[in-house]
Amino acid sequence: MRALLAILLALAASHALAHKPSDSYLAIRVEGASLAGQWDIALRDLDFAIGLDDSGDGEITWGEVKAHHTDIAAYALARLKLRSDGADCPARATGFLVDDHSDGTYSVMRFAATCPGEVTTLEIGYSLFADLDPQHKGLLRLEHGAGTRTAIFGPERPTQSFELARISALTQFLDYGREGVWHIWIGFDHILFLLSLLLPAVLALAGGRWEAIDRFPPAFWDVFKIVTSFTVAHSITLSLAALGVVSLPSRLVESGIATSVVLAALNNVFPLVHGRRWMVAFAFGLIHGFGFASVLKDLGLPQGALLIALVGFNLGVEVGQLAIVSAFLPVAYWLRASWFYRRLVFIGGSLAITAVAGIWLIERAFNLKIISA
Amino acid sequence: MSRRATAIGITRTSIIGTFTEIACGLALASLAAAVQAAPYVPKDDATVLERLPVRPGDPVARELRRLRAELARDPQNLGTALRLAERYYELAGAEGDPRYIGYAQAGLRPWWELRDPPLEARVMRAILKQSIHDFSAAMQDLDVAVREDPKNALAWSWRAAIHMVQADYAAARADCEALEPIESELGVVGCTAYLDGTTGKAAAAHRALSAALARSGDISPEMRLWVLTRLAEMSLRQGDVKQAEEHFRAALALNVRDQFLLAAYADFLLDQGRPAEVIALLRDWVRSDILLLRLALAEKALDAPAAKEHIEALRSRFDAAALRGDKLHQQEEARFNLYLLGQKEKALALARENWKLQREPRDARMLLEAALAMNDPAAGKDALEWLERSGHEDPGLRRTAEKLKALRR
């Protein structure tokens, strides 16, 4: 009869294992000689290994987990061997949290380890649950500098080595510089703000009408003043915010940036400020700096190379900006006297920018979504 | 504003316009971090973080504990290891949780890598290997097992089962025939009827299996459940919806936890356009990927608010499986992509990949439906050929195949 039951199960078998298997998530960040880690292990698995459900009611509470934190650390860390160039890097738990993963709640253990010297080759030996569940896998995410690697540990591959390329300051500087260029390039709101201020640079206000200017140098110096003051202003706030000296709520910053675009573009159609547009650039540049800072923060600031990242990112932004300006100015100067430039590009373009930025403003201020991708 | 991942894998708040999303979204979305953790400290000690599937005081749990303790004292005791593996295997089937396969395997560690393990260890090893879809390794062990012991009904049954999954019907028939002198009538008829019911003789198979069930007298609820589920499938293949429903209801009334039955009945209800009943049936089964998939399909059909959350949960589970390098659920993942995400191309790729490993009717159905969605009859060629060769009768499957063939003309 047992065989019959077997065929019953057999014929349903390919369908039956419908559950996510047991995995743990191990994240390790290498900084010089020290390792900072986070290890997410399913409570179910820990309960099977060391017993968490002390009350025996089939429910694991936070109190029960807390009572076992020492056991969890001892059990797990004994099954994780970290070695740098042949020497042990002893690890200790630094904090405990929990997290909800798609298949249940996990214990989150943060840990730190110190190696004898700067880590160039990290060897990781992983044997968590290897004796209890050979199907268990450890999913590693290893971060070093701006690079991230992943690996899968299991009984077939319990020990793996990772060569960590030495990240030079120059590489880091260039990485962040590239991010800065990329950000200004895809940051339509910054581009539109700058363009709104630059559009009138090849024109002069005479008796309430915009006329084409007749010499290039004034246009160039006008643009130079605007770009420089915008740069100085946003560098100030970018640095202050990135270093954590000042912080503003992102909704305020985002709305402020949208407002700056609206006002700058409207000023072209209904001129209020003309001669001192560099001051406008400076004032609103302060707000844009906060916007850049939030991007930089999301990229993650390397603790060891804060200044390099900050300067690299900022210079990247300037390079991107200069590229836009140097593409814009000659063309604008060339077309400045035409109807096309004065009516269509200058007035029409400014109105279009006002409209787009107005929608951003409403979206950002009220947390709405009007233009959806 | 939406969140996207940047090229170096860290999410950033987009402070840009919506336009940019179109430009960068495609390039960056694929790199979205798979696990976006937000760990926290629960508010108070009484917060329940996890419910164990088997309570510690449960008889099953007690027996497992006893067997584990016995095995810990004497790890070389094959009898204990086999009993433990069987219990865990049954639990894996009931709960659908592959952890139990791992636990069973751990108990068999002294025999797992042996070239010539004792027969029973070899058969159990094959059973566990096939359940993680290592069919070729499982078949190697079963080949040796039936050579060593031609009267080993367990080994013959598993051969039949694997040959059915691989659509090798001639081999499956040989396995069923080998069972004849050594297995009970219900076992032999069950094997043959399962084969006939898949290969175009559903009516005869239904008759034979019903008769064998009537004659079998006192059998375990698990066996009855299996027979009734098969009968329901055979009824459906003959287009007899009413009779299928009766079989399903009789099987459900046995009150045996069985994911396969729930999945099959949920599919039946979805095909019949009765999603509300699926939600009632599967509300408490969100942990099971295959049942959560059906629940989400039903919720989407009804525009239920929970659909969004469940689709996200499925997405993260499939992402986690990909991270792990698993290919256990490609058929389900194809269905998820086709019907819940609308990603036809990916669905078709998954359905084709799945067909290389598994060739049961539902695998064929997935391949045909994905090929039809992509207007690509050539991609469904393998499933069309299978339909011809097997003579499989399912009316819905045949309709899909006809539509696909019509595209070719």
Which residues lie below 8 Å from residue B191, measured CB to CB, with a gap of 6+?
A7, B157, B160, B175, B176, B179, B183
pLDDT in tens, A61-81: 999 999 999 999 999 999 999
Helices (H), B41-134: 59-73, 78-95, 99-107, 109-112, 119-131
Contact A63 B45 (CB under 8 A): yes
The tens digit of pLDDT for each residue in B70-94 reads 999 999 999 999 999 999 988 887 7
- Cα separation, A33 vs A119, whole angstroms: 5
pLDDT per residue as tens digits for the range A297-307: 776 666 666 77
Shared domain check, A199 and A304: yes
Query: Which range scores top for mean pLDDT: A170-184, A214-228, B52-66, B183-197?
Result: B183-197
Q: Token pair for residue B84?
A: 């433990």
Please, which pLDDT band fits residue B1 given cuts at 50, 70 and 90?
very low
Same domain, B355 and B397: yes
Listed by number, the residues of chain B in 198-217 with a beta carbon closer than 8 Å to a beta carbon of chain A are none
Q: Could B18 and A371 be called an inter-chain contact, meaning their C-beta atoms sit closer than 8 Å?
A: yes
pLDDT over threshold 80, residue A60: yes
Residue A3 domain flag: no
pLDDT of residue B354: 93
ipTM summary value: 0.75
HEC letters along chain A:
CHHHHHHHHHHCHHHHCCCCCCEEEEEEEEECCEEEEEEEEEHHHHHHHHCCCCCCCCEEEHHHHHHCHHHHHHHHHCCEEEEECCEECCEEEEEEEEEEECCEEEEEEEEEEECCCCCCEEEEEECCCCCCCCCCEEEEEEEECCEEEEEEEECCECEEEEECCCCCHHHHHHHHHHHHHHHHHHCHHHHHHHHHHHHHHHEEEECCEEEECCCHHHHHHHHHHHHHHHHHHHHHHHHHHHCCCCCCCHHHHHHHHHHHHHHHHHHHHCCCCCCCHHHHHHHHHHHHHHHHHHHHHHHCCCHHHHHHHHHHHHHHHHHHHHHHHHHHHHHHHHHCCCHHHHHHHHHHHHHHHHHHHHHHHHHHHHCCCCCCC
Residue B235 lies in domain: 184-255
Residue in B122, B282, B340, B113 with CA at minimum distance from that of residue A18: B282
Structural domain includes residue A1: no
How far is A288 from A259, CA to CA, in rounded Å?
11
Assess B13–A contact: CB distance below 8 Å, yes or no. yes
According to the model, what pLDDT value does residue B134 have? 87
Instruction: Report, as an integer, the average pLDDT of A266-283.
Output: 82
* B4, pLDDT greater than 50: no
B292 shares its domain with B314 = yes
Minimum CA–CA partner of B312 in chain A: A102
Percent residues over pLDDT 90 in chain A: 29
Non-local (6+) Cβ contacts of A156 within 8 A are none
Residues A109 and A216 in one domain: no
pLDDT above 50: residue B377: yes
Domain boundary among B270, B291, B326: B326
Mean pLDDT of the region A148-159? 88
Q: Would you state the pLDDT for residue A339?
A: 86
Q: Average pLDDT of chain A? A: 85
β-strands B48-51, A59-61 pairing = antiparallel
Same domain? For A146 and A248 the reply is: no
The gap between the terminal CA atoms of chain B, to the nearest Å, is 48
Residue A362 has pLDDT above 90, yes or no: no
pLDDT in the model for residue A72: 96
Interchain CB distance below 8 Å, A63 and B46: yes
d(CA A271, CA A263): 10
Give the mean pLDDT of A241-270. 86
Same domain, A238 and A331: yes
Confidence of residue B104 (pLDDT cuts 50, 70, 90): very high
Q: How many CA atoms lie within 13 A of A44 on its CB side?
A: 23
Distance from C-alpha of A186 to C-alpha of B17, rounded to nearest angstrom = 9
Confidence of residue A166 (pLDDT cuts 50, 70, 90): low
The verdict on a CB contact (< 8 Å) between B183 and A360 is: no
| B251 & B188 share domain | yes
Element (H, E) at B200: none
pLDDT digits (tens, 9 = 90+) for B22-31: 223 322 222 2
Q: Are residues B197 and B243 in the same domain?
A: yes
User: Quick one: average pLDDT of A165-187?
Assistant: 78
Residues from chain B contacting residue A141 (CB–CB below 8 Å) = 35
- Select the more confidently predicted residue: A310 or B244: B244
Instruction: Report chain B residues whose CB lies below 8 A from the CB of A99.
Output: 37-40
- The pLDDT value given to residue A120: 86
- Residue A190, in any domain of the structure: yes
**Residue B22 pLDDT:** 29
Interface of B with A in 243-282 (CB under 8 A): 258-260, 263
Within this chain, do residues A137 and A283 fall inside the same structural domain, yes or no? no
A258 and A317 housed in the same domain: yes
A8 occurs within a structural domain:
no
Same domain? A84 vs A222: no
Please say if the pLDDT value at position B5 is more than 50: no
Count CB atoms within 10 A of the CB of residue A66: 15
C-alpha to C-alpha distance for A313 and A318, rounded to whole angstroms: 9
Highest mean pLDDT, choosing among A233-247, A275-289, B45-59, B301-315: B301-315
**C-alpha separations of B283 from B48, B53, B294, B328 in Å:** 20, 16, 10, 24
Residue type, B396: G
pLDDT of residue B20: 30
Last residue of a domain, one of A163, A189, A208: A163
- Are residues A173 and A263 located together in one domain of the fold? yes
Let me know if residue A26 belongs to a domain: yes
- For residue A370, what pLDDT is reported? 66
Among A138, A163, A188, the domain boundary falls at A163
CB contact under 8 A, A300 and B184: no
Residues of A with Cβ-Cβ distance to B263 under 8 angstroms: 15, 18
B304 assigned to some structural domain: yes
Q: What is the pLDDT of residue B184?
A: 85
Burial class (CB in 10 A: 0-12, 13-18, 19+), A200: buried
CB contact under 8 A, A19 and B289: yes
Q: Given this model, what pLDDT does residue B163 score?
A: 93
Structural domain including A342 reads 169-366
Percent of chain B with pLDDT over 70: 91
C-alpha span between A146 and A165 (Å, rounded): 11
* Interval A21-42 mean pLDDT: 91
Q: pLDDT band at B15, cuts 50/70/90?
A: very low
Please identify, among A143, A163, A183, the residue that sits at the C-terminal boundary of a domain. Answer: A163
Which residue, among B32, B6, B34, B27, has the nearest Cα to B318 in the 3D structure?
B34
Claim to verify: residue B261 and residue B294 sit in the same structural domain:
yes
Q: Is residue B188 part of a domain?
A: yes
Domain count, chain B: 4
Number of domains present in the structure of chain A: 2
Residue A326, judged by CB atoms within 10 A of its CB (0-12, 13-18, 19+), counts as exposed
Given B198, B227, B255, the domain boundary residue is: B255
Give the domain-ending residue among B209, B225, B255.
B255
Instruction: Please report whether residue B157 resides in a domain.
Output: no
Residue B310: closest CA among chain A residues belongs to which residue? A102
Structure tokens given for A155: 């009984």
Residues B300 and B245 in one domain: no
Residue B218 lies in a domain: yes
Handedness of CA B144, B147, B149, B153 (dihedral sign): positive
Q: Is B311 on the interface with A (CB under 8 A)?
A: no
Give mean pLDDT, residues A49-68.
92
Q: How far is CA B387 from CA A115, A120, B45, B382, in A?
A: 62, 57, 58, 9
User: Among partner residues A6, A18, A373, which is closest to B154 by beta-carbon distance?
Assistant: A6
Model pLDDT, residue A186: 76
Query: How does residue A5 score in pLDDT terms, banded at 50, 70 and 90?
Result: low
The answer on A174 and A157 residing in a single domain is: no
Q: State whether A306 and A177 are in the same domain.
A: yes
If asked whether residues A177 and A138 sit together in one domain, one would say: no
Q: At what angle do helices A277-299 and A169-186 cross, to 10 degrees?
A: 120
* pLDDT the model gives residue A1: 38
For range A115-127, the mean pLDDT: 91
Mean pLDDT along residues A366-370: 73
Residues A178 and A145 in one domain: no
Average pLDDT of chain B to the nearest whole number: 86
Do B317 and B293 touch, CB atoms closer than 8 A? no
d(CA A248, CA A234): 14
- What burial class does residue A114 get, using C-beta atoms within 10 Å of its C-beta: 0-12 exposed, 13-18 middle, 19+ buried? middle
Q: What is the pLDDT of residue A274?
A: 65
Average pLDDT for A34-50:
94
Q: Is the confidence at residue A137, as pLDDT, over 70? A: yes
For the stretch B185-219, pLDDT in tens is 888 999 999 999 999 999 999 999 999 999 988 88
* Model pLDDT for residues B114-144, shown as the tens digit of each residue: 999 999 999 999 999 988 888 899 999 999 9
Residue A14 is assigned to a structural domain of this protein: no
Reported as a single tens digit per residue, the pLDDT across B246-301 is 999 999 999 988 888 999 999 999 999 999 999 999 998 888 888 999 999 999 99
Mean pLDDT of all residues in B162-185: 93
Confidence of residue B32 (pLDDT cuts 50, 70, 90): very low
Q: Decide if pLDDT at A9 tops 60.
A: no
Pairwise CB contact (< 8 Å): A58 & B56: yes
- Provide the number of CB pairs (under 8 Å) joining chain A to chain B: 287
Q: Does B287 touch chain A (CB under 8 A)?
A: yes
Residues B351 and B288 in one domain: no
Is A327 within a domain?
yes
Rg for chain A (alpha carbons), in Å?
29
Give me the residue label for tokens 């609206």: A262
Residue A83 within any structural domain of the chain: yes
Whether A59 sits inside 8 A of B21 (CB atoms) is no
Query: In this structure, are residues B334 and B318 in contact, taking their beta carbons and an 8 Å threshold?
Result: no
- In chain A, the percentage of residues whose pLDDT exceeds 70 is 89
Report the alpha-carbon distance of residue A41 to residue A128 in Å, rounded: 10
Give the residue with greater pLDDT, A76 vs A308: A76
State the nearest Cα–Cα gap between B84 and chain A, in angstroms: 13
Residue B391 lies in a domain: yes
Closest to B191 (Cα-Cα) out of B227, B225, B218, B215 = B227
B16 with A131: Cβ contact below 8 A: no
